[in-house]
Amino acid sequence: MKPNSLSFWKINMYEHTVILYDTLSPMEHEAQTKARQYFQLFQKYIDDKKTMDIHLFIRDVNSFQQFLIQLLRKQVTTGLKILLTPTFLSHLITESNMALRFASEKIDPSPLASHLTWLLVLSGDAFTIQGALDSLERSLVTKYLHYADLFEKQYVFAIELKGIMRIGLTEFPALLKFQEDTKRLVVEFIESLNQLEILEAQNSILDKLPLFFVQHIKREAQYYLSVIPSMG
């Protein structure tokens, strides 16, 4: 296990419960009450400084994932009063599955495994940022739409590389270039989030974007950067 990776997943799951609770409408009383219970549950993992029971963590992440699945099913069938899109909820489910795989030590060793999850997540995050910006913040809207597009294009590239790797190679020049290009893109994205975080803290931009959400996305991008394989 990578140093601090388990700490990341504890914080990540906790922050997902916060985001879910904050975006559910009070009219969804039952779902909001349950989201608050998960918020309190995962907060204990953050506050407790003792050695964590990994089996309990796996149980609780799995339970939270099933709750997210129920919410998504309701959202796309009968409707759910929530500010999150179905795709965003789907990404929360995907990340819960990643947390389960990590905690269970069932990590995919493929050099493309992390890309096939995080590129779509960050594309969605960038799109969510631009959607929360006032239309007057045109330059920032354009910037984050551009990031959403770049991450999506890298994802398509990763899919094609995965097909090429069926020939049995796990390292070749085009894959190395892809890894390096992706690292540069993520570093640039993190730098933009650092700037956005400062603007949010100063309340200097017109938007409805919580500072908490910007910090959450930055933490995910930093984690993704840390798990991109080094090649060559």
pLDDT digits (tens, 9 = 90+) for 15-64: 999 999 999 999 999 999 999 999 999 999 988 777 778 999 999 999 99
Q: What average pLDDT does the chain have?
A: 93
For 142-187, the DSSP string reads HHHHHHHHHHHHHHHHHHHHHHHGGGS-S--HHHHHHHHHHHHHHH
Q: What is the pLDDT of residue 231?
A: 62
Q: Are both 129 and 211 inside the same structural domain?
A: yes
- Do 57 and 162 belong to one domain? no
* Count of domains observed in the chain: 2
Same-domain check for residues 161 and 215: yes
First-to-final CA distance of the chain:
22
> Which of 103, 123, 143 lies at the terminal end of a domain, its last residue?
103
Residue 191 covered by a domain: yes
Give the range of the structural domain holding residue 175, as residue numbers without chain letter. 113-227
Residue 126 lies in a domain: yes
Same domain, yes or no: 67 and 164: no
Tell whether 121 and 222 lie within a shared domain. Answer: yes
211-227 vs 113-132: helix crossing angle, rounded to 10? 160
pLDDT at 3: 40
Residues 82 and 46 in one domain: yes
Torsions phi, psi for 25 (to 5 deg)? -70, 145
pLDDT band at 116 (very low <50, low <70, confident <90, very high): very high
